């Protein structure tokens, strides 16, 4: 059985989006594990992870189809794009108010 | 019929691929758990748990798509809300004066 | 920047906040004010404005004050779309207040009543004002320029809309040379803090939004979902319409903002993906070539939603993370130098101004050209880190070395109640 070309394109697009999502989530994890202080970790946590989750959810939306429950996935995507940076900001600000000095080059704490 | 059943390669369907991808996200989440355990500051832990939660949302959504369970998306939505609330609440109340946001 | 003033023209605020009318009256009032002094009354439409003015007029007539200055502190910035209309509306409020004051003075039996002059002015329209310390600064400057020594506050004075500024304002003013009092007038039942008037516009907007969200998750064709949706939306909008929106949706403005926001989203997405790839390379590089610093940038966007949009956009764009927003100062952590340079070029600030104020307002010099930027750490540092643990002292002292804007920094470190709290808490 052969699928219609448009279906095939959609399938491969889903695959590509999922892989992109995995890649950026991977970057986010490496960043959170490698970077020296809470501020730099917050960078990857908010940015790479938002993008990773965005690609993953876009893949889900494409799989499910916008007619079905896919728009919920879009809603989720939008929600994560608004809340993730806000949460990162709240955490970074909490660290700042606690008096944690940002790491700079030459600092020995890692 | 459904896109999930579309053949991908050597007898595997897109659904199978999505399940593998979900497993990949789960592995990444476990990696993040290291930071949540090690810290060293409270903010590091909150941050790690927040990222972990975002990963969980994605895992839930992908599983929902792969298994043909659209209700998973509702759970993912609620989880995302709670995850955000958790990050805000902990950052607010770990600071002595509670002045965040 | 030259600006088309409000239609009435005469009371258009100058850059230093002293209008022509006030300056003219000052010439003859200044000599007397040395002995008698003048009174400043910040004016905003409120339920107790009328009785506040009656009280002020009576008191001024009794102690022979030189002048009553009725001032409105602008919550807009000249040059923005709609600033003309808002300035005109402020003028109308001031005219009415001045008419009341003059009528009260005419009715007064006190011998000094005829000598009291009523002056009106709009202050602080040359920039956005954030919070009580900016208001204190503007009022103090005006008081100095006009020889006033007393401020009388309307007990219902709420200039920004959804939070009452009265307590911090009173506290801040008490740290200046001015004497402050709240007019002892009867007020209606006290409203709770963080609330604004419930208006139909806000109610309808919130009701529509929550109903749309509910039906999006449910099934709009199924009667049960529609009924529960209406009930839920009603509960949400009744309980929350006064806290969740702080200004009324306006017809041409709100849809235009949404349209321009929709234009902004793909631009932002492209920027996010592009910069994310570069940052991914930095992070996956085995040498980890990062050079993080904390920076300060003063931005020109209004407080509230525009500032949130800008701060979130900065955070979403890789390499930069908003750590703290203190009034119009954003403290931004940058991971690598190019991210910092890109931030100082100010494209996101321009885009935010485009979304909220339109295309005309988006043309402005970059923060770097305005000299509104500072690096707080590392070899290129131009300012000290405003963090208690870093310099071991007052959090305000770190920013004092900045050359450009000494007045506001001083006002912040001396008159900001939150700073005072920080000091006492430690």
Most C CBs within 10 Å, among A47, A69, A101, to test the C interface = A47
The pLDDT assigned to B26 comes to: 92
Return mean pLDDT, chain C: 71
Q: From the list A38, A62, A76, which residue is nearest B57 (CB)?
A: A76
What mean pLDDT do residues C214-237 have?
Answer: 86
Contact predicate C158/C42, CB 8 Å: no
Residue of C nearest to A78 (CA): C265
Q: From the list B74, B77, B97, which residue is nearest C425 (CB)?
A: B97
Contact predicate C249/C267, CB 8 Å: no
Mean pLDDT is lowest, of C103-117, C260-274, C281-295, for: C103-117
The pLDDT assigned to A96 comes to: 80
ipTM, interface predicted TM-score of the complex: 0.84
The per-residue pLDDT for range A39-83, each reduced to its tens digit, is: 888 888 888 888 899 999 998 888 887 766 778 888 888 888 888
**Beta carbons of C283 and A31 less than 8 Å apart:** yes
The pLDDT assigned to C121 comes to: 84
**Higher per-residue confidence, C193 vs C381:** C381
The yes-or-no verdict on residue C347 having pLDDT over 50 is yes
Residues of A in contact with C426 (CB under 8 A): none
Contact predicate B32/A32, CB 8 Å: yes
* Residue A68 forms part of a structural domain: yes
Q: Which chains touch A (3 or more CB pairs under 8 A)?
A: B, C
Q: What percent of chain C has a predicted confidence (pLDDT) above 70?
A: 71
Give the domain extent around A87.
4-97
The pLDDT assigned to B95 comes to: 67
The per-residue pLDDT for range C68-125, each reduced to its tens digit, is: 888 888 777 777 767 777 788 888 888 888 888 887 888 777 777 777 888 888 887 7
The pLDDT assigned to C14 comes to: 41
Q: Which chains touch B (3 or more CB pairs under 8 A)?
A: A, C
* Residue A108 forms part of a structural domain: no
The yes-or-no verdict on residue C250 having pLDDT over 50 is yes
**Beta carbons of A22 and B24 less than 8 Å apart:** yes
Mean pLDDT is lowest, of C143-147, C171-175, C321-325, for: C171-175
**Higher per-residue confidence, C32 vs A106:** A106
The per-residue pLDDT for range C362-404, each reduced to its tens digit, is: 777 777 777 777 777 766 666 666 655 444 333 333 333 333 3
Q: Which chains touch C (3 or more CB pairs under 8 A)?
A: A, B
Number of B/C CB contacts below 8 angstroms equals 7
Alpha carbon C52 to its chain centroid, in Å, reads: 24
- Report how many domains make up chain A: 1
**Beta carbons of A46 and C378 less than 8 Å apart:** no
- Model confidence band, residue B60 (pLDDT cutoffs 50, 70, 90): very high
Number of A/B CB contacts below 8 angstroms equals 172
Residues of B in contact with A1 (CB under 8 A): 7
What mean pLDDT do residues C214-225 have?
Answer: 83
**Domain layout of chain C by residue ranges:** 35-182, 200-244, 253-375
**Beta carbons of B97 and C217 less than 8 Å apart:** no
The yes-or-no verdict on residue C35 having pLDDT over 50 is no
Instruction: Identify which of C325-329, C349-353, C403-407 has the greatest average pLDDT.
Output: C349-353
Give Cβ neighbours of residue B1 (< 8 Å, ≥ 6 apart): none
* Residue A39 forms part of a structural domain: yes
Mean pLDDT is lowest, of A1-5, C37-41, C154-158, C419-423, for: C419-423
The yes-or-no verdict on residue C416 having pLDDT over 50 is no
The yes-or-no verdict on residue B69 having pLDDT over 70 is yes
The yes-or-no verdict on residue B53 having pLDDT over 60 is yes
Mean pLDDT is lowest, of A37-51, B13-27, C44-58, C187-201, for: C187-201
**CATH of region C35-182:** 3.40.50.620
The pLDDT assigned to C187 comes to: 62
The pLDDT assigned to C401 comes to: 35
What mean pLDDT do residues C268-284 have?
Answer: 85
Nearest Cα neighbor of C18 from C93, C92, C126 is C126
Mean pLDDT is lowest, of B95-99, C25-29, C129-133, for: C25-29
The pLDDT assigned to A9 comes to: 83
Mean pLDDT is lowest, of C81-95, C159-173, C205-219, for: C159-173
The pLDDT assigned to B96 comes to: 60
Residues of B in contact with C217 (CB under 8 A): 74, 77
- Model confidence band, residue C5 (pLDDT cutoffs 50, 70, 90): very low
**Beta carbons of C425 and B74 less than 8 Å apart:** no
């Amino acid at each position: 059985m052969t699928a219609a070309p448009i279906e095939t394109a959609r399938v491969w697009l889903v695959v590509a989006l999922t892989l992109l999502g995995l890649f950026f989530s991977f970057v986010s994890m490496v960043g959170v594990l490698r970077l020296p202080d809470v501020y730099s970790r917050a960078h990857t946590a908010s940015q790479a992870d938002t993008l990773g989750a965005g690609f993953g959810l876009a893949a889900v939306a494409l799989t499910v189809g916008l007619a079905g429950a896919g728009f919920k996935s879009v809603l989720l995507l939008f929600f994560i794009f608004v809340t993730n940076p806000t949460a990162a900001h709240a955490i970074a600000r909490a660290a700042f108010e606690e008096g944690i000095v940002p790491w700079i080059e030459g600092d020995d704490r890692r | 019929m459904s896109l999930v059943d579309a053949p991908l390669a050597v007898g595997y369907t897109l659904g199978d691929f999505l399940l593998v991808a979900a497993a990949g996200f789960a592995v990444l989440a476990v990696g993040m758990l290291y930071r949540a355990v090690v810290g060293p500051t409270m903010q590091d832990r909150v941050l790690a748990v927040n990222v972990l939660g975002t990963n969980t949302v994605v895992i839930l959504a992908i599983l929902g798509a792969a298994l043909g369970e659209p209700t998973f998306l509702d759970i993912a939505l609620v989880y995302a809300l709670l995850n955000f609330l958790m990050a805000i609440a902990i950052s607010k109340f770990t600071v002595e004066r509670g002045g965040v946001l | 920047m030259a600006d088309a003033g409000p239609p009435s023209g005469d009371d258009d605020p100058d850059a230093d906040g002293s209008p022509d009318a006030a300056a003219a009256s000052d010439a003859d009032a200044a000599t007397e004010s040395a002995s008698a002094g003048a009174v400043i009354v910040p004016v905003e439409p409120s339920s107790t404005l009328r009785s506040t003015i009656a009280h002020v007029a009576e008191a001024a007539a009794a102690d022979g004050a030189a002048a009553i200055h009725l001032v409105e502190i602008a919550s807009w910035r000249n040059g923005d779309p709609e600033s003309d209309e808002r300035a005109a509306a402020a003028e109308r409020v001031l005219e009415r207040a001045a008419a009341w004051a003059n009528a009260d003075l005419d009715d007064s039996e006190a011998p000094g009543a005829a000598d009291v002059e009523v002056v009106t002015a709009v202050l602080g329209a040359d920039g956005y004002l954030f919070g009580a310390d900016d208001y204190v600064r503007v009022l103090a400057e005006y008081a100095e320029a006009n020889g006033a020594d007393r401020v009388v506050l309307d007990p219902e004075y709420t200039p920004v809309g959804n939070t009452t500024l009265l307590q911090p304002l009173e506290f801040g003013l008490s740290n200046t040379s001015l004497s402050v009092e709240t007019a002892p007038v009867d007020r209606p039942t006290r409203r709770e803090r963080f609330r604004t008037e419930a208006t139909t516009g806000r109610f309808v907007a919130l009701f529509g939004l929550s109903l749309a969200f509910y039906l999006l998750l449910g099934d709009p064709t199924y009667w049960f979902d529609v009924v529960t949706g209406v009930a839920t939306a009603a509960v949400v909008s009744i309980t929350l319409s006064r806290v969740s929106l702080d200004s009324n949706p306006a017809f041409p403005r709100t849809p235009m903002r949404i349209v321009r926001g929709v234009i902004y989203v793909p631009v932002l997405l492209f920027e996010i993906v592009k910069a994310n790839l570069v940052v991914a390379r930095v992070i996956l590089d085995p040498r980890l070539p990062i050079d993080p610093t904390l920076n300060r940038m003063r931005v020109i966007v209004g407080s509230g939603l525009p500032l949130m949009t800008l701060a979130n956009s900065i955070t979403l764009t890789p390499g930069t993370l908003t750590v703290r927003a203190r009034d119009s100062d954003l403290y931004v952590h940058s991971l690598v130098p190019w991210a910092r340079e890109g931030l100082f070029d100010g494209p996101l600030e321009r885009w935010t101004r485009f979304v909220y104020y339109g295309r005309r307002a988006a043309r402005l010099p970059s923060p770097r050209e305005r000299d509104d930027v500072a690096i707080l750490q590392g070899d290129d540092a131009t300012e000290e880190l405003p963090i208690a643990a870093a310099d071991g002292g007052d959090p305000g002292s770190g920013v004092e070395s900045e050359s450009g804007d000494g007045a506001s920094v001083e006002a912040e470190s001396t008159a900001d109640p939150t700073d005072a709290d920080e000091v006492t808490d430690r």
